[in-house]
Structure 1
Amino acid sequence: MSAAPGPLSLSPVNEGVFAVLDAAGQHVGYLKRIGAVWKFKAVGSTARGETVPGGGPLTERHNTVFERPDEAEVSAGLLVG
């Protein structure tokens, strides 16, 4: 599966969750506050539009940890080779 096109952007869902969107505006995961850190939770979808937790173009980056919800840091951390 190919990587998501970057840069990535963050869209607030609630106080502890951001939707992570690729450059085309496609939803590729969530950034969730878990304790004192933020974890990326990859999300994909089937051809029928069903959600696949842990799937999608960034499945290899599932559970990547970040200190804060910063778009530049998230893009750099998730879109590495």
Structure 2
Amino acid sequence: MESIGLTIRELRKQKGLTQAALASLVGMSRSTISSIENNTIAEIGIRKVEAILNVFGYTLTAIAQRRRPTLDQLKEAHFHGQ
């Protein structure tokens, strides 16, 4: 989730908003926004992220994670030139 904080910071700065201004728009404290941006918040609720992203015209989307291949899969693909 570290990247979400960086994304929120970039979007906020692009809009020319302070942390306090963004906090006011979404009904959160400035310290909460700061904690999210700096990845120091213990738990971040999906509704908080969604509310912040909505201010910028973005939505939260889930995508499948890429999984690393297993050793057997690498061997089958002759990854090491065997």
Same fold (TM over 0.5): no
Higher helix share: 2
Alignment TM-score, normalising by the size of structure 2:
0.27
Larger Cα Rg: Structure 1 or Structure 2? 2
State the TM-score, normalized to the length of structure 1.
0.27
- Hey, which of these two has a bigger chunk of strand by percent? 1
